């Protein structure tokens, strides 16, 4: 057991935990933020995706000790009021069905748009194909990423 500090969504959490515990379970069971989901445990489905220092990672396959003292952003940290362009686009295009995989999809899409504000279909395929949606919301995910891209460019042109 070890005492670690998790910097989750700009808030520090001091936790007593097995340092080998995957970050996913530390976030869900120890800190109690449940927006990040367990899907496969072997980095195949993407449901557990969070940002570690701005880069999307599979929290099911990263020991909590690796993430200690680093900036972690989860779905709860995107905005306080659903105002992030990705969230607005996801609502506009009515993407979620069951919704379970969407936290991971959204975190991956956010990272994509940060790096590449106007992704092509091929860019979207590359960035998003590690994420499984059993409900089959893929066509709407693609559409929503393009919508979010437009929303972001409108926002930046206003600035």
CB closer to another protein out of 81 and 158: 81
Q: Are 128 and 141 in contact (CB under 8 A)?
A: yes
Q: Based on CB atoms, which residue is closest to another protein, 57 or 106? A: 106
Residue 71 or 97: which CB sits closer to another protein? 97
**Coil, helix or strand for 56?**
strand
Q: Which residue number, 72 or 128, has a Cβ lying nearer to another protein?
A: 128
Cβ 49 to another protein shortest distance, Å: 12
What span, in angstroms and rounded, lies between the C-alpha atoms of 86 and 11?
A: 22
- Within 9-117, strands assigned E span 11-17, 49-52, 55-58, 71-73
Task: Report residue 21 as tokens.
Answer: 């515990």
Minimum Å gap between C-beta 138 and another protein is: 4
CB atoms inside a 10 Å sphere around CB 121: 10
- Which residues form the interface with another protein (CB under 8 A)? 1, 18, 21-22, 25, 28-30, 32-42, 44-45, 47, 74-76, 78-79, 82, 86-87, 90-91, 94-103, 106, 124-126, 128-142
């Amino acid at each position: 057991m070890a005492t670690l500090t998790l910097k989750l969504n700009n808030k520090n959490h001091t936790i007593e935990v097995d340092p080998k515990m995957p970050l996913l379970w530390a976030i869900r069971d120890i800190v109690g933020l449940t927006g990040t989901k367990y899907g496969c445990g072997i980095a195949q489905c993407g449901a557990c995706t969070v940002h570690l220092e701005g880069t999307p990672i599979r929290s099911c396959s990263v020991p909590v000790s690796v993430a200690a003292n680093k900036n972690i952003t989860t779905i709860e940290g995107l905005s306080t009021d659903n105002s992030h362009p990705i969230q607005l686009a996801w609502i506009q295009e009515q993407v979620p069905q069951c919704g379970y995989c969407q936290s991971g999809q959204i975190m991956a899409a956010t990272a994509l748009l940060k790096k590449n504000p106007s992704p092509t279909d091929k860019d979207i395929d590359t960035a998003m194909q590690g994420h499984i949606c059993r409900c089959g919301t893929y066509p709407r995910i693609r559409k929503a990423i393009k919508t979010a891209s437009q929303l972001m460019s409108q926002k930046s042109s206003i600035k």
